[in-house]
Amino acid sequence: MHVIFPFQTAQQMTRQSHELDHRIVGDDMQCVEITLDPQETVLAEAGALMMMDDGIEMKTIFGDGNGREQGFMDKLWGAGKRVLTGESLFMTTYTNTSLTRRTAWFAAAYPGKIMPLDLLDYQGKLICQKDSFLCAAKGVSIGIEFQKRLGVGFFGGEGFIMQKLEGDGQVYIHAGGTTIQRELAPGETLRVDTGCLVALTQTVDYDIKFIGGIKNTLFGGEGLFLAHLRGPGHVWIQSLPFSRLADNIIASAPSSGGKSKGEGSVLGGLGRMLDGS
């Protein structure tokens, strides 16, 4: 669902970014095929490339990826902001240097959905979770979004520093598991696990708030803090955050003795007896 604000439509804005053609492939483990005209460029996170045609030139860049001429200090500042979000210091561009159309494919590192979003539909800016950005048209700037509230700073976890995507081009966001979208009315509030928050429009106000009570603190299992989102605006929620997936994998991984945690339990031993091991 795209939201175009009435005071400035997408048609009234002049696009400076490259215009990309795409095709989303797959169901639960998706990838995106980007078709590039001659001299068109797509920029992506390091490690997002799946495959590409001959005639596409790959180049590592230092900075925020917006394609504008920048001095060394501006590039250093842009790259440094990306490091704060836990991302790589560098980004990679893929430019079609041939005379005919070429394709490049990109995929995320865990199951989920890829959402193509046009920044012109969202006043030229989206705020997203640091692990969700996949790739974008050349001309889009990838930076960080700071929250002023101390509560967010001290307790936000994944919700403290989020990426901001600015410009007028197409961006591709990845969400783990199933994606839920909500349109918040003015003053409407939604409470979300910080890891499940994928993206939001810049009109949404968000904060991290404490969930009181000794039972919640000791036995809740959901952490002590939730992101509080207040409308108006649009939000995207994911059912399977990468951090949750990683924690579950680590918890089930074999111990130093070569046995998983489940194998050391009574049920694990009974299972081995039943199957003859």
How far is Cα 64 from Cα 66, in angstroms, rounded to an integer?
6
Q: Please report, as a single letter, which amino acid is at residue 240.
A: L
Q: Convert the pLDDT of each residue in 222-268 to its tens digit.
A: 556 788 899 999 999 999 887 777 667 777 777 655 555 544 444 44
Confidence at residue 213, expressed as pLDDT on a 0 to 100 scale: 58
In this prediction, residue 38 carries a pLDDT of 96
Architecture of the domain made up of 17-251:
4-Layer Sandwich (3.60)
Separation of alpha carbons 182 and 191, rounded Å:
12
Whole-structure pTM value: 0.75
Report how far residue 67's alpha carbon sits from residue 179's, in angstroms, rounded to the nearest whole number.
31
* Domain ranges, ordered by start, for the chain: 17-251
